[in-house]
Amino acid sequence: MIRGSAAGIRTIRGAVLATIGLIGLAPAALAAGTGSETPLDRLIEKFNAGAPERPGVQIVGWVERGPDGQAVVVAVAPRGGARLVADPGITVTPTERPGVRWRGPLPERKVEPGADYLTPPATVRLPFTASDDRPVELKVEYAYCVVDFQCYLGEETLSVATGTR
């Protein structure tokens, strides 16, 4: 049995109710945010800022001009600890379109025989001539591993500006 005055019990009861009220308002205050508070999504962003990059592959393409004409260069680079598998390697297949003539065998394939993994970044060059400035599209197929026994096949369509004129 708790003994105390009626005034003391009212004070404790009021403090408990005030605490419950503040706890109930906390989620609303976080969600609403004021000018001086950091929004919840920003806090989550900061919390994940140090997370390691997920293993995967980055693909970029550009056009180089040289004495033999133009060539689309496709660079495939692993990221986050991934490695590019040497066989099947990388296969680049241009999408046919009027005004572009590809010089050389198609599709173009990069393989390093006798190696388990490609030396990054792996590049594939496709010489071409174009009669307009429209971009070219290429299908890039590759394989990568995040650990020796966990490998994936990837495919991406890449659009590269030609800027021929």
The pairing of beta strand 90-94 with beta strand 136-147: antiparallel
Dihedral over alpha carbons 39, 44, 50, 56 (to 10 degrees): -120
CA distance 110 to 90: 5
pLDDT in tens, the chain (165 residues): 444 444 444 444 444 444 444 444 445 444 454 455 667 666 666 665 565 667 899 999 999 998 888 999 999 999 988 999 999 999 999 999 999 999 988 999 999 989 999 988 999 999 999 999 899 999 999 999 998 779 999 999 999 998 744
Cis before residue 67, ω within 30 degrees of 0? Answer: no
Give burial (CB, 10 Å; 0-12/13-18/19+) of 72.
buried
- Please give the distance of CA 74 from its chain centroid, rounded to a whole number: 17
The values of phi and psi at residue 35, to 5°, are: -60, -25
CA distance 38 to 18: 25
The values of phi and psi at residue 95, to 5°, are: -80, 130
pTM for the full predicted model: 0.66
Q: What is the pLDDT of residue 147?
A: 81
Contact 52/100 with Cβ under 8 angstroms? Answer: no
Contact 98/106 with Cβ under 8 angstroms? Answer: no
